[in-house]
Chains A and B, each alone.
Chain A
Amino acid sequence: MLSIRNIVKQYAGHRALNDVSLEVESGKIFGLLGPNGAGKTSLIRIINQITAPDSGEVYFNGQKLDQSHINRIGYLPEERGLYKKMEIGEQMIYLARLKGLSRADATAKLKFWFEKLGMETWWKKKIEELSKGMQQKAQFVATVLHEPDLIILDEPFSGFDPVNAELIKDEILELNKKGATILFSTHRMESVEELCDSIALIHKSHKILDGRVKAIRNSYKNDTYLVEYTGEHLDFSGAQPFDLISDVAGEDNSHTIKIKLNNTTANDVLQYLLPKTRINMLQEVIPSMNEIFIEKVNLIK
């Protein structure tokens, strides 16, 4: 869908993007992660052709990105904003027409969305009469009204209350199911694990990690397991086939230990423990995206 190749973007004084390459697969949800100021918005602006890269290329469905692709992209910027004094219905239609829709087409689609999200009464209202959350909802509709193939959302959940955030999340998933490719930037890691098929992590203008979320998390597994047992507290003197990382006493005589294997397997652990106590649970610890994110970012500092 989107192939970003060796993008360099230099601003006066600093380099926002340094040789960044990404592949966004068609029909997938792609997460663009990174701390503030990493270069995410710069990259998004390049994809939207708001700015041009100093070097490197962007391909859209195999074609070099140009003005003809603008109507196929929907963009929700991080800094939201609409014309304050313009009626919402009129404004949405205007924005959709700028994306190439006819007036009749835009009106019909807008009616559908307003009904779907319970916004029917907003048509004649002005933006300044709405609450911030309502404005965001309106702007989300403006982003997807022209049914873009690629939807780019910069921090889509910021500013939404939990109910509306859930609503928008469901809409994003539904649009994705209908075939839209979604690229969103965020630093909310729980939404990444929930939504994203693939991610790229950008830090200090470099891409430092990318791939499928499952694969990344698996590759960061380091033979760490959680074991919960019930019975008398066990002391590990060094003869056991693992290293003890932590040991926490729970309720009802239960204990949870975190262990790291050293060239052994989970089976070895079970064989060692089974004669000694009653095991409730053994679970491999897969690092969360949050942990990976923090680890990678701190590593580079």
Chain B
Amino acid sequence: MNKVLLIIQREYVTRVRKKAFIVMIFAVPALILGMSALIGFIAKNNQELSNDLTVKVIDDSKAFEGKFRNAKHIKFEASKQSLNDAKGGLQENEDLSILVIPTDYAKNQVQILSKKKPTYQLTEEVEKQLNAIASAKSLVDHHIDTAFLNALNKNRISVNAMEVTATGTKEANLGATMGVGIACAILIYLSLFIYGAQVMRGVIEEKTSRIIEVIISSVKPFQLMLGKIIGVGLVGLTQFGAWILLSVISSKIAGHAFSGPGSPIAGAVAVLSTIPFGYILGCFIFYFLTGYLLYSALFAAVGSAVDSETETQQFMFPITLPLLFTYILSVSVLFQAPDSPLAVWLSMIPFTAPVAMMVRIPFGGVPDWQLALSMSLMVVGFLFTTYVAARIYRVGVLMYGKKASFKELAKWFFYKE
């Protein structure tokens, strides 16, 4: 039997047998299920206004009088009150807003006032109507026959209507998509960290228990490192596999149990079911694997360079910095602008790509060439770090009582066999 396979087997079996592993298998899907229910709930809530809102329109320009049309949950009301009088009403009624249109609305800003920050749906509706009315008015002002124009554009208008419904569904899922994006970022960030650290701890264990010398009199250091990395990686995949299976089963059960219309979980399941999970999952596995190979090799090199876990700090920081940096950016900025240049660049650099790309993917629209380039760079990246790490590792595992510095590591890299 191949020696690397033996090592993989040992690394895998000893970890999978642990109690913590089995506990994690059941604890995490429960957490995920709770989280996805929450995401779905919020997304569902976001797409519809729960209360009927009233908008008082104070129109100094007189251009919009009687032209606002009531929308679902939004009622427009022309008002003759002065601004100050109307403001008094805001304090009493949370569902009341005031739309203030100045005389020259083209130059000065139109404002919405309300007790709380106005909801996105409200401002969007108001903006949409304002623009439509204003452009109709300017057509009239320029003596363009709007009826003629409408007749001319009849076909286009119906196309527009279709587009509106298309964006409508997209927007309905935006919350869920963002949620999935952030969840992917968190999950891949944590798992790269957790399994990378497991590799490092394994290396330190072998070094401090001094069994390393016995082992590498039987196998080459690189074989040992590779076996350990693959073994721990398989543990990770097993864990994900179990999670996915459990999540599917439990969400099926939950979907049946709460299938009544209007229940939050049914809503969540309905919203989440529009997300292409197969595609996301495929990408997740790929980025987990390559990202894991890339980082765990570095973690292994760190483990080989130290005598105890407490000494790892100085090396861990620069290694985990890109990961941490991307993670923080992902949950704060990237998920709002998944196609921004920053997001695109971060999803190309192998050190940051696993997290950055996993934020972008749920949104769809990552061009194939970008995905292909990013994936190829990941493969190149992990081959590179594995090569570097292996050269440090083979020297490091035999070094005791020597406080390693980066300079020292660089020296080890250039050692001959």
Contacts and interface: CB of A to CB of B under 8 A. Distances in A.
A17 interface: no
Interface in B213-244: 213-220
Given A48-B217, A50-B216, A52-B417, A82 B209 contact: yes
Given A52-B416, A54-B416, A97-B1, A82 B215 contact: no
A82 B3 contact: no
B210 interface: yes
A70 interface: yes
B211 interface: yes
Contacts of A82: 209, 211, 214
Interface in B366-417: 398, 400, 411, 416-417
Category for how many chain A residues contact B:
20 to 34
Interface in B1-55: 1, 3, 6-7, 10, 14
B6 A51 contact: no
Contacts of B206: 83
B1 to A, nearest CB: 7
A12 interface: yes
A98 B219 contact: yes
Contacts of A94: 6, 10
B213 A98 contact: no
B218 A81 contact: no
Contacts of B14: 85-86
A73 B398 CA distance: 19
A177 interface: no
A95 interface: yes
B140 to A, nearest CB: 83
Contact of B209 (A50, A83, A95): A83
A102 B236 CA distance: 28
B218 A99 contact: yes
Contacts of B219: 98
Most buried by A among B205, B209, B218, B416: B218
Nearest to B215: A98
A49 B217 contact: yes
Given A51-B398, A86-B14, A77 B209 contact: no
A70 B218 contact: yes
A188 interface: no
Nearest to B415: A12
Most buried by A among B205, B215, B217: B217
A70 B217 contact: yes
A77 B417 contact: no
Contacts of A84: 205, 209
Nearest to A146: B218
Interface string A68-103: 001101010101111111100000001101110000
A65 interface: no
Nearest to B14: A86
A73 B217 contact: yes
Interface in A20-79: 45, 48-52, 54, 67, 70-71, 73, 75, 77, 79
Nearest to A86: B14
A51 B412 CA distance: 13
Contacts of B210: 77, 79-81
A4 interface: no
Nearest to A152: B217
A16 interface: no
Given A51-B398, A70-B217, A75-B217, A83 B211 contact: yes
Most buried by A among B7, B14, B206, B214: B214
A85 B11 CA distance: 12
Given A51-B398, A94-B10, A77 B213 contact: yes
13 contacts: A12-B411, A49-B217, A50-B217, A51-B398, A70-B218, A77-B214, A81-B211, A82-B214, A83-B205, A95-B218, A97-B1, A99-B218, A142-B214
Interface of A: 12, 45, 48-52, 54, 67, 70-71, 73, 75, 77, 79-86, 94-95, 97-99, 139, 142
Across the A-B interface, the 4 shortest Cβ-Cβ residue pairs = A81-B210, A98-B218, A52-B417, A77-B213
Given A52-B417, A54-B416, A75-B213, 14 more contacts: A45-B398, A50-B398, A51-B398, A70-B217, A71-B218, A77-B214, A79-B210, A79-B400, A81-B212, A81-B213, A82-B209, A85-B14, A86-B14, A94-B10
